[in-house]
Structure 1
């Protein structure tokens, strides 16, 4: 049984929401083994997507702050 490749999330927020829902289904303990495996694979892809997005934003912040991250203070 060949499975179609997973669709990329539209945004970081969409990926995070899908990941949270997926974790809930997995933790319920009600999924068959094949669905657990597919869920784990999708979760790994979503996690990598989120990490990549966060790293990209971190790099942009470093550039904006001229390479020096400044502590955030609420004024």
Structure 2
């Protein structure tokens, strides 16, 4: 299985949103797509927090030099 990256998760999330907006899914399918979207959103938020912390660390290191 391919490793999920922020960019891939974001692309998948955009595709899920598009499929929901079309309104062609059954209720059960919509719930499954929504659930997957929630998981992808949590993954993206985690990745963004990690990136933010890394940037803050780099800024702090550069100020101390």
Q: For the superposition of Structure 1 and Structure 2, which TM-score range results when normalised by the shorter chain?
A: 0.7 to 0.9
Equivalent of residue 22 in structure 2, options 9, 28, 35 = 28
Structure 1 unaligned segments of length 5 or more: list them: 1-6, 68-75
Matched residue, 2:10:
16
Structure 2 unaligned segments of length 5 or more: list them: none
Q: Greater share of helix residues, 1 or 2?
A: 2
- TM-score (normalised: structure 1): 0.76
RMSD after superposition: 1.9
Q: Which structure carries more relative contact order (alpha carbon 8 Å, separation 6+)?
A: 2
Question: How many pairs align?
Answer: 61
Q: CA deviation at 1:34?
A: 0.4
